[in-house]
């Protein structure tokens, strides 16, 4: 939904993916990207920090951290 600029739907899906109790590196990373696009850098960094705690897909997370910072 981010790709087609449907940010309201993207927000709903990203929030649901993280809040299921089974949040993953991918769900936190995706929500971080959404926050970045919306201009909320603090929330983006918080989600990338959470994503980095999973220990998987760290190249992707590190690349996104470079963009946000």
Each residue's pLDDT, cut to its tens digit, for the chain (69 residues) gives 565 577 888 889 999 999 986 779 999 999 999 999 999 999 999 999 999 999 889 999 999 999 998
Residue 4 is predicted with a pLDDT of 58
Do 37 and 7 touch, CB atoms closer than 8 A?
A: yes
Residue 7 is predicted with a pLDDT of 85
* φ, ψ dihedrals at 63, nearest 5°: -65, -45
Do 61 and 31 touch, CB atoms closer than 8 A?
A: no
Residue 2 is predicted with a pLDDT of 65
pTM above 0.75, yes or no: yes
């Amino acid at each position: 939904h981010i790709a087609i600029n449907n940010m309201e739907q993207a927000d709903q899906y990203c929030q649901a993916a993280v809040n299921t109790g089974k949040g993953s590196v991918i769900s936190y990373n995706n929500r971080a990207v959404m926050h970045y696009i919306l201009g909320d850098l603090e929330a983006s960094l918080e989600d990338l920090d959470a994503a980095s705690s999973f220990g998987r897909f760290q190249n992707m997370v590190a690349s996104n951290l470079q963009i946000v910072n």
